[in-house]
Structure 1
Amino acid sequence: MIIGKRLCVIVVGLLAGKLSHSQSNNVLQLWYDKPASVWEETLPLGNGRLGMMPDGGIEKETIVLNDITLWSGSEQDANNYEANQYLPNIRQLLIAGKNDEAQDLINKHFVCKGPGSGGKQWGCFQILGNLEIKYKYPSKSLKPSTYKRNLQLSNALATTSFTLNGVTYTREYITSFGTDVGIIKLTSSKSGALNFSLALSRPERFNTVVSNNNIEMRGQLDNGTDGKGMQYMAVAAVKLTDGGKISTTEKELLVNDATTAYVYISMGTDYKQSAHHFDDKVLQLLKTGMSKSYTTEKVTHIANFQKLFNRFQVNLGTGKNSHLTTDKRLDLFYKNPQDDNALPALHLQYGRYLSISSTRVGLLPPNLQGLWANQTQTPWNGDYHLDINVEMNHWHLEAANLSELNLPLADLVKGLVKNGEKTAKAYYNANGWIAHVITNIWGFTEPGESASWGIANSGSGWLCANLWDHYAYTKDKKYLKDIYPILKGSALFYRDALIQDPKTKWLVTAPSVSPENSFFLNDKHVNVCMGPTIDNQITRELFSNVIEASEALGVDTDFRSDLKQKLKQLPRPAASALVAALWNG
């Protein structure tokens, strides 16, 4: 995977360096000629904190709302502090080629306490809510003569437009990089032809009230202990500028006879905020957003977004399929990629767009869902998988000129160190810190609940590789000094936890797994091994980076010398394969 990472960086770097012509903004769009039929077809908008995904429905439209910080669960200590007593036996079984018995022992005594990622205290990234708009039209015919919805990547702006019974309806959506609210502009080409109702809901744990022409939705998620977890709030309101009237019911806002309407949505959580006052900020953002003209807000939004997006340009030409809808382009590209040279460039820029939209400095890094989720039980908890997914979300950032978007990951990793030190002692009797294969915003570092995947050793080392990338590109000594204790702590763990392979004499991890890989041994299906190549490569890269960092900072001469000696004893790439072959059949 490290080879793949470097190749990705090289390719993106070549594109950035070789191709100087900007791609036309009208090419940088996803567009479709019908409403989304499933959530995955909706258009993702985000400003690093807030997310919206409109489906473009004609009679009823659902806009899924998200906040990057909304998590259930809470901090926990799931370390088994007796686990290290079983470590010598586990290693002896691996050395003896009894991987299946070692795996059984790990499942009994060397995984996390409790249900792990399957438990309520682990938590889950969740949908904040649904904004539902129901439209009313004078005719019963709801088949439009034209329809288009698109996402303009260079402007972070989504639109839906269609003509129905001679009236053209247009919708614009932004999650503002200005005032930090969501805004939807609704217009009709015929005066007074805009009629709709507005409501907020979510699948569970919510209550809505209508007051002063605002809809407020509040709730509290389950923390896995007493049920009193993170609090959240969303509030929506409508502003009319050229006619129409607003009325209310117990749960809805009603708009009738309008020509242009602006829907404002403000939302937030009490993550790292006072549980008693976070809602004041939500309400103030709504008030500020509504006090500005939409034109002013839109200009500010685009300008702030483009400060990041416009740093990188690529043009690979077009092709005869470039004018088609995005879904048709994708289908045809697999058959004849030469007919759409612009699609790979669009794909690259879409990745950059998603990164800009799903994280911001000072908040959380993108999770498995970025910041978009439409369920309370998000697949795989919408958490942070450290065996490739976190890395994939960050590989391109430096080469694609989005360097500062690596900083939220560094903040997340800082939050793992304290518990990771407990985990290192509990399981390996080692110094330093470790995180295994999964984590959450609550700082979980323990092995997962199953030996088959949860014992992977490479998570913390691979995170450190991502942190190092930011320094490698920026040469920012202040940043290096800030992250050096994290890198050193990870290197301390691997230095202490490595054992000598009696067959090859190389230093290797044991026990561990190669993520999502298994093999047959003694006629059994097993995962646990010693010295998987991924661990060898990541440990080598980590030690090399810490050596360079200590030299650059002028610190830890003795530790640096120790790592240099250990580095000589690590399996080289070809030797890594040999170790795996010897021990795993």
Structure 2
Amino acid sequence: MKFQYVFLALAACLAEALPTFDGSRHVWFTFPGFFPTFESSFPIGNGRVAASIYGGASEVLGITENSIWTGPFQDRIASTALAAEPVVREMLLAGNLSEAREYAYEHMISNVTSPRSFSYFGNIGIDFGHAEEEMTDYVRWLDTREGMVGVEYVVDGVTYTREYIANYPSGVLAARFTASAGGELNMNISMTGLIKILSVTAAAAQDNNTLTLRGSSGQSVDPILWTGQARFVPDEGAVVGVSGTNLIITNASTVDMFFDAETSYRYASEAAWEAEMQRKIDAAFALGYDAVKSAAIADIIAFLGRVTLDLGTSPNGWAALPTDQRLAIARNTSEDVQLSTLVFNFGRHLLAASSRPSNDGTVALPANLQGIWNNSTSAPFGGKYTININIEMNYWPAGPTNMIETQLPLFDLIGVATPRGQSAAERMYGCPGTVFHHNLDLWGDPAPTDNFTQSTMWPFGSAWLAWHAIDHYRFTLDKTFLQEVAYPFLSEVATFYECYAFENDGHNVTGPSLSPENRFMVPLNESVPGASEAVDIAPAMDGQLMTEIFQGFLEAASLLGIPDSDPAVAAARTFLPTIKPQQIGSLGQILEWRVEYTELVPGQKHLSPLWALMPGRAFFSPHQQHALRCGTGAARSACVAWLGDHWLEPHLADLPVR
């Protein structure tokens, strides 16, 4: 316990110098982030444009815009896939597991193995003329309630502050830089990046001091192009000039910044996207920083404030410590309950910052593997939309914590991907309907990705996203969404699996497919004995997904008044009971594969055969399923009231908490 008392003593020494922080709300440190390690930065975003803020003596703002990816659409459907699929299936049925996987990966997967990758805009660098060793009383913080980042420190008796905000209604990022003494704020501002920069220009003019960067994803044909501009507004008495491509501001006390970036993904011409960029920046400038900040905070408080979590008060004054010290304590104890609340609030901040529906009529993009933040031309794992769990996990808090609108960009992407998936279904499997494998990019590329043994050959990403569509309706009770988005997509997905599945031992099963991210040891009576493989027929998760998708489709049809005589409804009703049920193994476990193979990695973290428990519903009783479908928000009270009248009251003790 000695180290805890040291932390408390340090906190007491700093108490008078530092702002007051709420241990359930603020992430804060007494040292800057470590550029370019963007995980050490503080993230803000308005769902489309975002910044990673490091807070160093020389500030770096790593800027991203969610449609800046590495290039144009690629048609990656292998021309040999359709002919190869029945060959692979026969190999699997014959027990030639290794040969089947090798044949599938040679003939069903394109030589271009990866879709496009999430990239970034570049960096805004601001040199204040300060050195790290000169800074005292340093603190930086992220307010998870207001979505703001702040930095404060002292140099030579002058207190310097920075605050950053992402405004969703206006579509801009904004910042304010101040010095407590008049004329002591100096800024040498640049725009740089590892991406292909076409031009950087600096301009100094009355009320229009700007840095503008034009960039390209770099492909020779149809690259993604973008323009971003930061306008700086100093107070009276400041001197503004240009040095090469840098903007120089001297003798200021306060400087405000407004930033936007727009791309060719959403606009057909440079003139169009730059006009939109200019419109947003001009509107923010006309409002002024205080109004932009107030509007941003009002918006996000109204949004995030729908849910609060109170787990109690942490002991030993831990909640008053800087976050890094609390994390050190948490390695040895879980008693810092306010840290758990802070993590909850931080997660909701990230989702709101990286996924908001479009408010300007353009296509929105969902949170990707990086959320919306990145500092390189190609993010880890490409920053893709990995839909064998990762992107779905992004959205698990959307309904239960009353942020359901954050999920709408996911359906925008599904709308882009569905026609691509129709082409993949026909050309790879000879089937109608639509299919996505385990990744998408911003173009909706649905093809198998990465030639990776335990993930690539999995045609069920579309099924999991279809589950999100019906679940979205269950939370919102939005009949328009059900009719225009969820039902058509469920219909497309169900149509594909009715064709793709085949009869084996009296049930409809799938294959070639796999149990995401896991491998098994090939038995001695099959080939190659002892090899680790993943591709097979009838993985448990496939059947679970199909069951819930067909149930969801029939539920949607009933809610929309579509009769059982409708051909699609009749086909789904016939198909549903033919899906292979769950199998139980020798240890009482749900079998992950069609037989009790030995797992290569027992307890693999994806826990794919438990999909039906979470996020699925199959392991709940019928009345529990109905209660879960009440969701949250305004519609929940009416739903629960109806349930209470019909069957809820006798089962209150059985209801799960959501």
Q: TM-score, normalised by structure 1?
A: 0.90
- Residue 490 (structure 2) aligns with: 487
- In structure 2, do the counterparts of structure 1 residues 561 and 342 end up closer, same or farther at CA, with 3 Å as the change threshold? same
- Residue 178 (structure 2) aligns with: 187
- Residue 135 (structure 2) aligns with: 144
The alignment status of 1:46 with 2:42, answered yes or no, reads no
Q: CA deviation at 1:496?
A: 1.2
- State the distance in 2 between where 1:219 and 1:166 align: 40
CA deviation profile, 1:484-543 (whole Å, cap 9, x unmatched): 1111110111111111223xx322111001111111211212111111111111111101
- Residue 479 (structure 2) aligns with: 477
- State the distance in 2 between where 1:482 and 1:110 align: 33
- State the distance in 2 between where 1:263 and 1:407 align: 30
SS in 1 for 2:593: helix
CA deviation profile, 1:115-171 (whole Å, cap 9, x unmatched): 121xxxx3221110100000125xx78333311100111111110001222111111
Q: CA deviation at 1:411?
A: 1.4
Q: CA deviation at 1:561?
A: 3.4
- State the distance in 1 between where 2:416 and 2:597 align: 35
User: Aligned pairs, how many?
Assistant: 549
- State the distance in 1 between where 2:474 and 2:536 align: 32
The alignment status of 1:329 with 2:293, answered yes or no, reads no
The alignment status of 1:559 with 2:568, answered yes or no, reads yes
Query: Would you say the 8 A contact 2:541–2:592 is kept in 1?
Result: no
Query: Would you say the 8 A contact 2:23–2:338 is kept in 1?
Result: no
SS in 1 for 2:349: helix
- Residue 188 (structure 2) aligns with: 197
Q: CA deviation at 1:283?
A: 2.0
- State the distance in 2 between where 1:261 and 1:63 align: 16
Q: CA deviation at 1:33?
A: 0.5
For structure 2, the 5+ residue unaligned runs are 1-20, 359-363, 523-528, 599-658
Q: CA deviation at 1:25?
A: 5.9
- State the distance in 2 between where 1:463 and 1:166 align: 56
- In structure 2, do the counterparts of structure 1 residues 141 and 529 end up closer, same or farther at CA, with 3 Å as the change threshold? closer
Query: Would you say the 8 A contact 1:508–1:531 is kept in 2?
Result: yes
SS in 1 for 2:47: coil
- Residue 554 (structure 2) aligns with: 547
Q: CA deviation at 1:54?
A: 1.2
After superposition, residues 460-475 of structure 1 pair within 5 angstroms as 460-475=462-477
- Residue 436 (structure 1) aligns with: 437
- Residue 126 (structure 2) aligns with: 133
After superposition, residues 485-524 of structure 1 pair within 5 angstroms as 485-502=488-505, 505-521=506-522, 522-524=529-531
The alignment status of 1:177 with 2:177, answered yes or no, reads no
Of 95-104 and 212-221, deviating more is: 212-221
SS in 1 for 2:414: helix
Letter in 1 for 2:319: S
- Residue 375 (structure 1) aligns with: 376
After superposition, residues 5-84 of structure 1 pair within 5 angstroms as 27-37=24-34, 38-58=37-57, 60-84=58-82
CA deviation profile, 1:37-71 (whole Å, cap 9, x unmatched): 2321110000111101110101x111101111112
- Residue 593 (structure 2) aligns with: 580
- Residue 295 (structure 2) aligns with: 300
Which one has more relative contact order, counting CA pairs under 8 Å at least 6 apart? 1
Letter in 2 for 1:412: L
Of 286-295 and 409-418, deviating more is: 286-295
For structure 1, the 5+ residue unaligned runs are 1-23
Query: Would you say the 8 A contact 2:195–2:216 is kept in 1?
Result: no
Letter in 2 for 1:176: N
- Residue 284 (structure 1) aligns with: 279
Letter in 1 for 2:85: L
Give the one of 126, 151, 156 matched to 1:160.
151
Letter in 2 for 1:181: V
Q: What RMSD in Å do the two structures reach over aligned CA positions?
A: 1.9
Query: Would you say the 8 A contact 1:529–1:584 is kept in 2?
Result: no
- State the distance in 2 between where 1:456 and 1:141 align: 50
- In structure 2, do the counterparts of structure 1 residues 141 and 448 end up closer, same or farther at CA, with 3 Å as the change threshold? closer
After superposition, residues 384-399 of structure 1 pair within 5 angstroms as 384-399=385-400
Q: TM-score, normalised by structure 2?
A: 0.80
Query: Would you say the 8 A contact 2:200–2:212 is kept in 1?
Result: yes
- State the distance in 2 between where 1:498 and 1:86 align: 16
- In structure 2, do the counterparts of structure 1 residues 299 and 511 end up closer, same or farther at CA, with 3 Å as the change threshold? same
CA deviation profile, 1:353-401 (whole Å, cap 9, x unmatched): 1111111213111111111111001111111101001100111101111
Letter in 2 for 1:170: T
Query: Would you say the 8 A contact 2:232–2:255 is kept in 1?
Result: yes
SS in 1 for 2:42: coil
CA deviation profile, 1:304-351 (whole Å, cap 9, x unmatched): 12221111111112213111111221221131111x111111111111
SS in 2 for 1:203: coil
- In structure 2, do the counterparts of structure 1 residues 578 and 234 end up closer, same or farther at CA, with 3 Å as the change threshold? closer
Give the one of 70, 91, 94 matched to 1:93.
91
Query: Would you say the 8 A contact 1:25–1:154 is kept in 2?
Result: no
- Residue 312 (structure 2) aligns with: 317
The alignment status of 1:274 with 2:271, answered yes or no, reads no
